[in-house]
Structure 1
């Protein structure tokens, strides 16, 4: 049976070059980067070279890059430091952030005295910048703004430059979960007012279980874990060297091929939108995912005109692998918290599916999916 994978926002297939780099490292770089003997020093050089290259891709210094186990840990590190270490008394976020932000804030709020405010959204899930400005100018409490660069379910792109400017004007910290952005956009952090940025390797064809955190220099930052004091005291624990090298290679390839890959993916997404509109009457798109300028080329969130609780299951049986929302909530039967915030009671009952593309997706696969959907929806 033909099988097509359109759940790349959940995780991407690893590049062969990444696997090769990791295998070579497993065979030859088995020293601990913290050991002082020759093998340890060799591993340390390799580790710091990877850090320097990743920093270069973002136009920051290597000292500003902290290696983590992925986006969830990095978000936890930022939010805990903001409350416990930087004395933040208010966090402004949105109700459609990833649970790696929302759940952490609610948990911290049980122990620490700080306020959580949610910025207003329009019916497409876009942040109301005027409301954000109003909230930032209200009061004198030290504030952290935490808004994701690309929404992982809708694909909406946050105007990070404008948000950063608002934060600078109001002396607020700016944290962005950029898990769906790193590897998919050219990012120059020297030109943006971002204090904390989070990335995860498996979103850009790297290995799972590794990511990194950018922390603007001169910000006080403490580890959540205590032990060996690795990562210059910001994250104790022996570094996952092989995966870090795989991540660096994946990001290098993703960025070197980015312009041509994004043209291809954008054309593919436009074809998918057109075919769905032609073949399935009254199909709609959640957020601004049908807008090729305002949304990520890699994500399309489709709302069908009927309620079909078995749609994802039947797509799976037909060889189409997609998602109803964040894969981190897999197994949950409740509706997407993102769609609940932007859809009315009638529309939320209809079946929505997130299809997410990669450089390996093809027009033939899109046509295959549309044919399956026509039969399943009818």
Structure 2
């Protein structure tokens, strides 16, 4: 039985060219980028080349980029690094939203435990934060504002640029978690009012265990990790040379092919939803998230009367991989904090399944998954 993988928001398969870049770097021999000998210099050149790729893709200076071990590390480095630096200037407020990834939410809660004043902005039923509420929350005391670009559970896009403009007027540091949106949204950081931006390799067909943090020049910042002077003393620890090479190749591919990538995801999404409607009828499911302001590769669907755990278990038995929400919490029976923050009915929250599309998926897979999902839904409802 061939597995259908509709969980690209959790992680993606490595692109063949990224695998080749990884293998080439890993097979080049031992080399620490901090070493002065020839092998060390060769490793450093690979890291530099990777940084240059991201500088071009994001339209920033290569010196503003810090390689990390994951998106979570990048989020934590951004939040703690900016918050503690800002507190030295008398700023003590943290503003974020109720639908952030737990890498941001839990970091913000830790900052609150450390004495910062935390404001968590609510969202509407589509999962969008109010610009007016954000403006009301941001003031002279605000140290850091953190708003994700696109939600990892619903795909809903946030007004992060507009919020960033407002944050700038109060000299608050603006952080954007772009882990899920990168590859589908153009981030021209010379144009956007963003001071810190988080990326992760394994969401764009790169390897797991590599992240990136953009730190705009002049942004108040202090390192989270202490040790050597790697990454201009902003992130201690030997760089993952092979991972960075593969990450850069994956970023190059998604940047050049962004429009085709968007069209492919939209095509799969439409085929899946059309198949669901034909098999279940419009009353048999409901889509969670904004209908238009969204990422193209994620669709969060509730099946009233069917628990998400039962649906996912049966889909898995049928060879279809989907998710109940964030991959970091998929093993938990806790309801989605994102859907709960949207004030959806409990039955809708408890029956939600996330399908996410990407490299290698086909319309035939979408049609088969829609039919199988409808069959499972009907069977479970009739019990």
TM range (shorter): over 0.9
| CA deviation profile, 1:251-272 (whole Å, cap 9, x unmatched) | 1011111111211221221222
Q: In 2, Cα distance between the equivalents of 1:151 and 1:332?
A: 19
Q: In 2, Cα distance between the equivalents of 1:29 and 1:358?
A: 33
Q: Which runs of 5+ in 2 are unaligned?
A: 379-383
Matches within 5 A, 1:227-376: 227-281=227-281, 282=283, 283-288=285-290, 291=291, 293-308=292-307, 309-348=309-348, 350-376=350-376
The two structures, once aligned, show a CA RMSD in angstroms of 1.4
Matches within 5 A, 1:142-181: 142-181=142-181
Q: State the Cα distance separating 1:330 from its structure 2 match.
A: 2.8
Q: State the Cα distance separating 1:345 from its structure 2 match.
A: 4.0
Q: In 2, Cα distance between the equivalents of 1:280 and 1:201?
A: 36
Tell me which stretches of 4 or more aligned residues in structure 1 moved more than 3 Å. Answer: 343-350
Match of 2:105 in 1: 102
Contact 1:9–1:356 (Cα < 8 Å) also in 2: yes
Q: In 1, Cα distance between the equivalents of 2:330 and 2:72?
A: 15
Match of 2:58 in 1: 58
Q: In 2, Cα distance between the equivalents of 1:224 and 1:261?
A: 35
Q: In 1, Cα distance between the equivalents of 2:43 and 2:372?
A: 50
Matches within 5 A, 1:188-207: 188-207=188-207
Q: Which runs of 5+ in 1 are unaligned?
A: none
Moved more, 198-207 or 272-281: 272-281
Secondary structure in structure 1 of the residue aligned to 2:190: helix
Secondary structure in structure 2 of the residue aligned to 1:220: coil
Q: In 2, Cα distance between the equivalents of 1:343 and 1:136?
A: 24
| CA deviation profile, 1:1-47 (whole Å, cap 9, x unmatched) | 23200000000000111111111111115211100111111211221
| CA deviation profile, 1:99-157 (whole Å, cap 9, x unmatched) | 101111212222x22111122311111111111112225xx213311111010001001
Task: Provide the TM-score with structure 1 as the length reference.
Answer: 0.95
Alpha carbons of structure 1 residues 32 and 367: separation in structure 2 relative to 1, 3 Å:
same
- Paired residues, number: 372
Moved more, 43-52 or 312-321: 43-52
Secondary structure in structure 2 of the residue aligned to 1:125: coil
Q: State the Cα distance separating 1:307 from its structure 2 match.
A: 2.6
